[in-house]
Amino acid sequence: MSLSQITRNSFLLICFFFLLWYISSSFYFEQKELLSNKNEETLTEVHLTSPLTLSSNTTITDDDRNPLEELNKKYCGKPTCKFLFVYSLGEQETKANLHFRSFSQLAEKLNRIMILTNVGSSRIGTCNKFPFDFYYNTNLLQKEFPNVLFKSENDFIFWLKERDQIKRKINNNDNKVIPPLSILHSSIKLHHKNTNMKTFYDNAVTNFDKHECISKFEPLMNTKDSNNSRVKYTKLFIRTTDLKTEKSRVKSSELLTKVLTIDEEILLVNGYVIFPLFPQIMPVIPYSDHILNEAQKIKDKLSSSYIGIHWRLERSTPELLPKCVQGLIKTLNKVMKEEGIKNIYLATDYPLLSSRSQSSTFKEITNYHHDAIRTLNETFKINTWVSLGGLEQLRKNDKYDKELNGSGIQGILDKLVCMNSNYFVSGPKGCSRVVSTFTKTIADERRNRIKDKDYSLLNIIDRWRIYL
């Protein structure tokens, strides 16, 4: 056999073995790929069918974790959620501000989450439709109470909703894994009518002092349905003298903390206490930036130099008002001449945008009231939050009409503008409400600023005189 034949045969043999190797390898890798794809499809199917979706944020898994505890960890940071929801505070904003601070102190003592109750119409209460941060700066509130976790009403509703979804998915006739909501509803009120009665805490009849606005949480929280909620009712009546002094509040706050240290998930409170609940009075809850900005705009429009007047007509004697307005005019002329101030800002409960007063408790407006304001306007150029275009963006939106046409956010704006005024005056007895938390808050803030060397403030507060 020649050399060329040997070479050709060797080449053919090599080609044969290479072809055999290629066919075998192709078959092996094709099978491996098919098996791999099949496994991936199987895993995908398992992944897609295993979770039982409740919402975009909540799933039930097949492991041993308690779904309610997992939900609570998400909202409350621990396996059990305990809320303090003071859903009604019976006074207007300045006093309600004080009471919300007191109940935030209680939330800290009880280690409960404090619900940021809705606001509106110069009130803090769940009947209102605006969120808490419409009035208040929640970031600064949190800094004041670093040990309290705050949640909005919307957060509370989301928790109720997801809890209810879990309950519906898991529970059946034979297996009640998720129990009904556990609720204590407590009415906490001051004995302002019977000052001799001692402070006491006791059980109360079903629905005792429960405000109808709480029904807005139905069907997620239905206090009338035992399958949804198991509710206990209690009442705490506090003697006035037990809250009037720092010393007396030590004992009463200890009692309050003791009786309300309970296991229920939700502590609902309808409160009307007038005075602070704890010995320490926390600083005023700071107002939202958008209100502070409005106050600064008004100050700028007044050339940063103005007299602030707080004239609350509600408790005035109508027949005295002609003399009251003449006394105010004399005082204004004197201050303007001596201090060289030309601008005047009036904060009042008298109607400015509509026929309704700017106080929810000021009902009877007479011709004496109309004549007094008319005389003042005819004597000076009187500026108000309305005339200076305050809260302009809110006034363009119909949903704020009710808020702005009565008592509402403008009361906070008035308060801030008067705090910033160079000179501040308010009415004497007979012309105005003298014992006013609103006026006291302004005076306290001005006193602190003067103490801190704010030389733009020329006085704390003066009351004009009437000449009989």
Q: Decide if 76-272 and 289-463 have a common fold.
A: yes
What is the reported pLDDT for 14? 60
Give the tens place of pLDDT for each residue, 216-267.
Answer: 999 999 999 999 999 999 999 999 999 999 999 999 999 999 999 999 999 9
Residue range 311-329, pLDDT digits in tens: 998 889 999 999 999 999 9
Closest by CA position to 231, among listed 257, 255, 203, 212: 203
Q: What is the pLDDT of residue 360?
A: 56
Q: Which helix (H) or strand (E) holds 370?
A: helix 367-379
pLDDT for position 139:
98
d(CA 174, CA 444): 62
| Residue 467 pLDDT | 81
Residue 239 bridge partners (DSSP): 191
Give 86's strand partners: 269
pLDDT beneath 70, residues of the chain: 1-64, 173-176, 193-195, 354-363
Rounded to whole angstroms, how far apart are CA atoms 463 and 324? 11
76-272 is classed CATH 3.30.390: no
Q: How far apart are CA 93 and CA 412, in angstroms?
A: 8
Q: What are the structural domain ranges in the chain? A: 76-272, 289-463
The CATH code that applies to domain 289-463 is 3.40.50
pLDDT at residue 358, as a whole number? 57
- The pLDDT assigned to 191 comes to 84
Q: Which amino acid is at 219?
A: P
Instruction: Judge contact between 261 and 184, C-beta under 8 A.
Output: no
Give the whole-angstrom CA distance, residue 48 versus residue 287: 48
Residue where the block lists tokens 């009187």: 382
- Residues paired with residue 432 on neighbouring β-strands, in sequence order: 429
* pLDDT score at 176: 67
Task: For residues 387 and 397, give the distance between their C-alpha atoms in angstroms, rounded to a whole number.
Answer: 18
At residue 54, the pLDDT reads 36
